[in-house]
């Protein structure tokens, strides 16, 4: 194997291209830009045009240059005429010359790159760009403002195979955690249109915003609604070396997404459609009405031992049981009343790509819809069904305007429309938790809508089906235009690039809401006629309200790139300026309406010697209007070193087992300017104070208030010092790949309100200061196994794990009175609460134990008196559990291929996480009667007759009699789970002769399932929903069947 020099070089925003041709003397067709915009018909005609002159047969000299994806010449590429079997190699500048006949097939072969074959038609100069095989050492990684060759990069960058993102879900964010090393993430809701996951790169290292910076095609953008089919590359930048150039925006890590661009050749058209069934992963179960009343009687008696009467008479219980009169003796499962068992989703996509030597295109249209799992009332005159629809489109064009000038244009966007009930979805869930099963029926048999008399307990069915609807329309348009000029004429390897982008987002919500008249059946009169009390006066017609939101963003960059090599020395450099401006068009306040601006100067230099010793330095120098004028700009440098051991002589003996080994070390500084708190903190504010005052006897003289709101403070960004040590290893001829990174981060200057100021100072808002500090460390790793056992059988396996542990060093607060209360030195997000010692077994034990507020008896939870003062109070709250954000996120899955069949699975799991249970409905009767549903688990409780040691519920009480429902380890549950997140089975008809007869190059049929199985010790609801009472729209399971075909 001949190893050729491969030079690292950055080509900003250069799209992944299989190859491109260049025809000397042929200028860009005027208007090609417009042509390329047109739909598929236009491309068919272009294809026809290019197929005209290929009949003649005559020997010619074909010349050209072979390059890699970074525009570096490839030396030693075998150029093979398959007809004449003639072979030549490319020279030091990548050039070749071969004698061939028109009509010959020529193949370009180079180790580590995909072989490319073309037919000589009318072109005598064929420049070829070979694409590195994914996962090979020649592979390209996308880094900030450019690309690098994997072998010579030293930063910690993980990439996600774009194929893995293509799941039948609307929101991409849920698919990331576990699939790519270095991401901690959880998804807290499955509500269509609101099912985004929280994603933290290497966990949370700050008290302020820990959102990563997301860049799509080089511009800060939200990726949740990007159609996964349009993604070419998905990278996560984690360490200082990779993120320092983003300066004040880099500390939380960076996600880089590149959309696809066209490839030279005949139009390639992909079509895909699938349709599926959706179901809730798991919903909590409620107790039935009989159980409810029995439990209520028990609880009531426990709290009111002197009342001789039960809360609910035996007669009522019997009548409810018999179902004799469901109007007066209802027995309702509110979940059954409002949820459907299943709903559906579907998606369809068409994309086309192709192009000629000077113009390439990628065009795509996608559609997704999803129905919610709520019921609707067929009689209502409006549509309140929960439905979400989205249309995506993408158009990317790459043009060579002159020999040395390239223009890239991209436009993409989406339109979504969500229809929701008039009452917020989570409020309907809340209502189902508050409504008892025995107060009212879903609806009275005479058609009256039921509603109990008092308080804030509503009929969930009315809220779902009778409240009107909200319709949310959102749209997003992204556009970017880039011009790249090669300046090799001035200096070999120099180029300049500039980009401008404009993004616009709008949302528009129409709220047409109403409420219906509510009635309560209070009894029957002497003639057995029902007596209805009107408990709610509805509004007869839909009300109208609207709300709007929107942002617009401008981004400009201009940069210089340089890359060259001198013998075994390779150097590259980047110097780039950019600025961005984002405006909230519907800002609620004067301050918020001021555009958010960033500007930065960015630089990078890399050097390598023989791809063995690697050096890289980066800096970001940037500023934001958030900070005081004199402290607006920060300088963020980083440095990285790499050593490819496997290239050393002493390593040669091992190269059969370990064929590649690289050690990496980086250190540097990044910042976080997204510090939350108050904007323009360097200016003091005046606000309405505590309020105004009214004067006047028989005259109204009301005067509003004024006071100092916030005092001015010197404000700056958070600083993150990041150290990363990494190792990349390939063994057994690339069959096994291991990447592992250990990291440590010191985040200082976190912008917090000072908690050490005594109250008698009398400031209304505590002053802010850059005082917080968090230390975060952990590791992440990826292991990959690839093996082709035969031509037809291959097995692939990949696993990732991410662990982080962040410790609070300074929270700008005063110390707590007792050591166990201290927040300092504990992990970020540590929960605090009482330590439950079990249940009191007797009233004597209560009397002989530390005092607990309220009426405490046998069967109540006994807490640990941490400070030993004989009273259980807040001083006895210590650290309990892990917290709601997992410390460990992992994923793994195989792909097995046999002939056309392919089966794959992906398991995702989280660990070191827990769930705290609380809330109305979960804590039985905590607010008294007629309020609060009961979980089916209510029967698992302590009673004097059955004094179990560790039931779900302690002694039942009516009202909040004692300390049973305070935050404690009793209500903590392990939140770890592992789930089969994706399972896929597909059959690929590739190579079947009949395919080409129907004009297809490929056809596959597939089944894909999401969230099919969950393994967890937590049984009440889907553990990923986290704390509380499970009263949010759960995550969904999907079963999708689809077809995918390709035409060329």
Binders of another protein in range 670-709 (CB under 8 A): 680, 683-686, 688-699, 701-708
| Closest to 798 in 3D by CA, of 159, 202, 137, 153 | 159
Return the number of the residue (85 or 315) whose C-beta is nearest another protein.
Answer: 315
795: left (phi over 0), alpha (psi -120 to 50) or beta: beta
Strands 343-356 and 359-371 turn out to be antiparallel
**Single residue of 70, 141, 386, 599 touching another protein by CB under 8 A:** 599
CB 934 → another protein: shortest distance, Å?
15
Give least dist CB 759 to another protein, A: 3
Provide the minimum distance between the beta carbon of 456 and another protein in the complex, in angstroms, as a whole number.
11
Establish if 711 lies at the interface with another protein (CB under 8 A). Answer: yes
* 3-class DSSP assignment, residue 648: coil
Write the interaction track for another protein spanning residues 836-875; mark x where CB under 8 A is met and - where it is not.
-----------------xx----------------x-xxx
Cβ at position 619, least distance to another protein in Å:
6
CB 281 within 8 A of CB 1037: yes
Part of the chain binding another protein (CB under 8 A), chosen from 277-285, 594-602, 739-747, 902-910: 594-602
Q: Would you list the DSSP string of 182-245?
A: TEEEEE----TT--PEEEEETS---SS--PPEEEETTEE---TTS-GGGEEEEEEE-SHHHHGG
Using DSSP, state whether 553 is helix, strand or coil. Answer: strand
Nearer of residues 113 and 300 to another protein, judged by Cβ: 300
Shorter beta-carbon distance to another protein: residue 42 or 685: 685
Which is nearer to another protein, 181 or 601 (by Cβ)?
601
Nearer to another protein, 597 or 744 (CB): 597
Dist CA 612 CA 246 (whole Å): 27
**Could you tell me the smallest distance in angstroms from the CB atom of residue 137 to another protein?**
27
Alpha carbon 898 to its chain centroid, in Å, reads 33
Residues 166-195 that bind another protein (CB under 8 A): none
Question: Do 619 and 603 contact (CB within 8 A), yes or no?
Answer: yes
> 792 Cβ partners below 8 Å, 6+ apart?
897, 898, 899
Q: What residues from 197 to 226 belong to the interface with another protein (CB under 8 A)?
A: none
Window 248 to 267, contacts with another protein (CB under 8 A): none
Q: Are 892 and 802 in contact (CB under 8 A)?
A: no
Q: Give me the least distance between CB of 624 and another protein, in Å please.
A: 7
By the rule CB under 8 A, 825 interacts with another protein: no
Least Å from the CB of residue 760 to another protein: 5
Chosen residue from 66, 184, 245, 571 binding another protein by CB under 8 A: 571
What is the end-to-end Cα distance of the chain in Å, rounded?
35
Is there binding between residue 412 and another protein (CB under 8 A)? Answer: no
Among 42, 107, 918, 960, binds another protein (CB under 8 A): 960
The count of other CB atoms within 10 Å of the CB of residue 897 is 18
Q: Name which of 40 and 591 has its Cβ closer to another protein.
A: 591
Between 800 and 927, CB nearer to another protein:
927
Exactly one of 447, 629, 870, 993 binds another protein (CB under 8 A); which one?
Answer: 629
Stretch 273-312 residues interacting with another protein (CB under 8 A) = 306-307
492 binds another protein (CB under 8 A): yes
Q: How far is the CB of 570 from another protein (least distance, A)?
A: 12
Residues 721-760 that bind another protein (CB under 8 A): 755-760
Q: 469-493: buried (b, 16+ CB within 10 Å) or exposed (e) per residue? A: bbbbebbbbbbbebbbebeeeeeeb
Q: Which residue's entry shows tokens 């294809």?
A: 47
Chain-centre distance of CA 187, in angstroms? 8
886 exposure class (CB count in 10 Å sphere: 0-12, 13-18, 19+):
buried
Tell me: does residue 635 bind another protein (CB under 8 A).
Answer: yes
Near another protein by CB under 8 A: residue from 166, 360, 482, 931: 931
The two three-digit tokens of residue 272, written as one number: 């895909």
Segment contacting another protein (CB under 8 A): 376-384, 408-416, 573-581, 1031-1039?
Answer: 573-581
Is 588 a binder of another protein (CB under 8 A)?
Answer: no
Position among 767, 799, 951, 1028 found at the interface with another protein (CB under 8 A)? 767
Residue 6: count of CB within 10 angstroms of its CB: 23
* Binding track, positions 447-466, relative to another protein; x by CB under 8 A: -------xx-----------
**Between 419 and 535, CB nearer to another protein:** 535
Closest CA to 391 of 347, 352, 448, 447: 347
CB of 374 to another protein, least distance (A): 29
For another protein, the closer CB: 488 or 547: 488
Residue 921 Rama label (left phi>0; alpha psi -120 to 50; beta): left
Closer CB to another protein, 405 or 684, in the complex: 684
Backbone phi, then psi, for 760, in 5-degree steps?
-70, -10
Helix (H, G, I), strand (E, B) or coil at 537: coil
Task: Give the CA distances from residue 466 to residues 130, 206, 458, 512, in Å, rounded to whole numbers and listed in that order.
Answer: 61, 44, 12, 11
Least distance CB 8 / another protein (angstroms): 15
Q: Which of 138, 191, 570, 624 binds another protein (CB under 8 A)?
A: 624
CA 450/CA 460 separation, integer angstroms: 10
Distance (Å) of CA 578 to CA 211, 494, 602, 668: 21, 19, 8, 21
Q: Of 955, 1005, 893, 928, whose CA–CA distance to 160 is shortest?
A: 893
Residue from the set 198, 625, 734, 988 that interacts with another protein by CB under 8 A: 625
Interaction of residue 567 with another protein, rule CB under 8 A: no
Nearest to 393 by CA among 483, 479, 508: 479
| Binding footprint of another protein, residue count (CB under 8 A) | 95
Q: Which of 546, 764, 899, 992 binds another protein (CB under 8 A)?
A: 764
Q: Name which position in 40, 119, 537, 814 contacts another protein (CB under 8 A).
A: 814
Identify which of residues 830 and 974 has a Cβ nearer to another protein in the complex: 830
């Amino acid at each position: 194997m001949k190893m050729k020099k491969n030079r690292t070089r950055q080509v900003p925003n250069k799209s992944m291209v299989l190859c491109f041709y260049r025809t000397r003397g042929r200028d860009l067709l005027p208007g090609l830009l417009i042509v390329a915009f047109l739909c598929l018909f236009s491309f068919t005609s272009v294809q026809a045009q290019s197929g005209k002159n290929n009949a003649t047969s005559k020997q010619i000299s074909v010349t050209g240059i072979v390059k890699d994806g970074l525009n570096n010449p490839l030396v030693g590429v075998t150029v093979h005429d398959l007809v004449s079997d003639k072979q030549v190699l490319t020279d030091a500048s990548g050039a070749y010359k071969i004698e061939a006949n028109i009509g010959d097939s020529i193949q370009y072969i180079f180790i580590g790159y995909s072989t490319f074959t073309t037919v000589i038609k009318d072109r005598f100069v064929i420049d070829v760009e070979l694409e590195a095989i994914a996962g090979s050492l020649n592979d390209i990684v996308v880094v900030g403002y450019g690309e690098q060759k994997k072998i010579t990069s030293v930063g910690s960058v993980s990439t996600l195979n774009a194929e893995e993102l293509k799941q039948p879900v609307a929101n991409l964010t849920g698919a990331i955690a576990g699939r790519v090393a270095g991401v901690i993430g959880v998804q807290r809701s499955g509500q269509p249109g609101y099912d985004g996951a929280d994603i933290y790169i290497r966990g949370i290292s700050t008290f302020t915003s820990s959102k990563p910076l997301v860049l799509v095609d080089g511009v800060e953008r939200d990726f949740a609604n990007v159609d996964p089919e349009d993604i070419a590359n998905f990278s996560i930048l984690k360490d200082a070396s990779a993120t320092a150039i983003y300066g004040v925006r880099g500390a939380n890590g960076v996600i880089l997404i590149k959309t696809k661009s066209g490839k030279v050749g005949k139009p390639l058209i992909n079509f895909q459609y699938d349709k599926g069934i959706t179901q809730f992963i798991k919903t909590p179960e409620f107790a039935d009405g009989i159980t409810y009343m029995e439990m209520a009687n028990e609880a009531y008696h426990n709290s009111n031992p002197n009342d001789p009467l039960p809360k609910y008479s035996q007669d009522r219980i019997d009548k409810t049981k018999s179902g004799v009169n469901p109007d007066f003796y209802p027995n309702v499962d509110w979940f059954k009343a409002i949820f459907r068992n299943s709903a559906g989703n579907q998606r369809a996509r068409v994309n086309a790509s192709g192009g000629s030597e000077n113009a390439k295109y990628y065009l795509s249209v996608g559609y997704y819809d999803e129905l919610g799992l709520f019921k609707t009332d067929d009689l209502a005159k409006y549509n309140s069904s929960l439905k979400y629809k989205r249309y995506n489109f993408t158009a990317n064009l790459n043009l060579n305007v002159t020999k040395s000038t390239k223009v890239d244009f991209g436009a993409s966007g989406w339109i979504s429309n969500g229809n929701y009930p008039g009452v917020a979805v989570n409020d309907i869930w809340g209502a189902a938790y508050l409504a008892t099963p025995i107060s009212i029926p879903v609806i009275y048999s005479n058609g009256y809508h039921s509603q109990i008399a008092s308080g804030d307990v509503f009929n969930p069915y009315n809220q779902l089906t009778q409240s009107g609807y909200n319709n949310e329309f959102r749209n997003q348009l992204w556009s970017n235009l880039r011009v790249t000029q090669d300046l090799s004429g001035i200096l070999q390897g120099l180029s300049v690039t500039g980009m401008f982008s404009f993004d616009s987002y709008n949302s528009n919500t129409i709220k047409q809401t109403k409420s219906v008249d509510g009635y309560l059946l209070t009894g029957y009169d002497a003639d057995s006629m029902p007596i209805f009390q009107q408990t709610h006066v509805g509004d007869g017609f839909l009300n109208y309200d609207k709300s709007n939101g929107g942002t617009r963003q401008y981004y400009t960059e201009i940069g210089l790139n340089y890359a060259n090599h001198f013998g075994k020395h390779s150097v590259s450099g980047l110097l780039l300026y950019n600025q961005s401006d984002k405006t909230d068009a519907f800002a609620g306040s004067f301050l918020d309406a001021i555009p958010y601006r960033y500007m930065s100067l960015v630089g990078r230099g890399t050097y390598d010697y023989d791809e063995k010793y690697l050096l890289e330095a980066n800096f970001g120098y940037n500023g934001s209007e958030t900070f005081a004028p004199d402290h607006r700009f920060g300088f963020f440098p980083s440095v990285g070193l790499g050593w490819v051991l496997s290239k050393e002589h002493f390593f040669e003996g091992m190269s059969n087992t370990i064929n590649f080994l690289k050690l990496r070390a980086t250190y540097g500084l990044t910042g976080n300017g997204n510090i939350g708190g108050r904007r323009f903190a360097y200016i003091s504010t005046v606000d309405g104070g505590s309020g105004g005052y009214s004067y006047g006897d028989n005259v109204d003289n009301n005067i509003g208030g004024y006071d100092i709101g916030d005092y001015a403070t010197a404000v700056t960004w958070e600083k993150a010092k990041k150290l990363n040590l990494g190792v990349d290893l390939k063994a057994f001829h690339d069959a096994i790949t291991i990447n592992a990174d250990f990291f440590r981060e010191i985040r200082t200057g976190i912008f917090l309100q000072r908690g050490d100021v005594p109250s008698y100072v009398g400031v209304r808002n505590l002053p802010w200061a850059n005082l917080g500090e968090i230390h975060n460390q952990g590791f992440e790793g990826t292991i990959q196994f690839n093996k082709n056992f035969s031509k037809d059988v291959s097995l692939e396996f990949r696993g990732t794990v991410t662990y982080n542990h962040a410790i609070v060093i300074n929270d700008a607060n005063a110390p707590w009175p007792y050591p166990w209360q201290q927040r300092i030195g504990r992990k970020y997000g540590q929960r605090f609460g009482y330590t439950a010692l079990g249940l009191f077994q007797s009233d004597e034990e209560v009397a002989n134990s530390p005092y607990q507020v309220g009426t405490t008896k046998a069967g109540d939870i006994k807490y640990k008196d941490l400070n030993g003062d004989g009273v259980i109070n807040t001083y006895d709250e210590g650290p309990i559990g892990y917290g709601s954000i997992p410390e460990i996120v992992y994923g793994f899955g195989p792909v097995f291929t046999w002939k056309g069949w392919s089966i794959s699975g992906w398991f995702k799991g989280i660990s070191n996480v827990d769930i705290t249970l609380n809330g109305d409905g979960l804590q039985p009767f905590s607010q008294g009667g007629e309020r609060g549903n009961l979980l089916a688990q209510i029967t698992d409780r302590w009673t004097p007759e059955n004094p179990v040691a560790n039931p779900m519920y302690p002694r039942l009480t009516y009202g909040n009699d004692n300390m049973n429902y305070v935050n404690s380890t009793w209500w903590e549950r392990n939140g770890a789970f592992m789930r089969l997140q994706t399972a896929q089975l597909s059959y690929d008809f590739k190579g079947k002769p009949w395919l080409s007869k129907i004009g297809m190059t490929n056809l596959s049929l597939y089944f894909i399932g999401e969230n099919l199985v969950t393994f967890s010790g937590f049984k009440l609801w889907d553990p990923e929903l986290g704390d509380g009472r499970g009263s949010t729209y759960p995550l969904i399971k999907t079963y999708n069947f689809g077809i995918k075909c390709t035409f060329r």
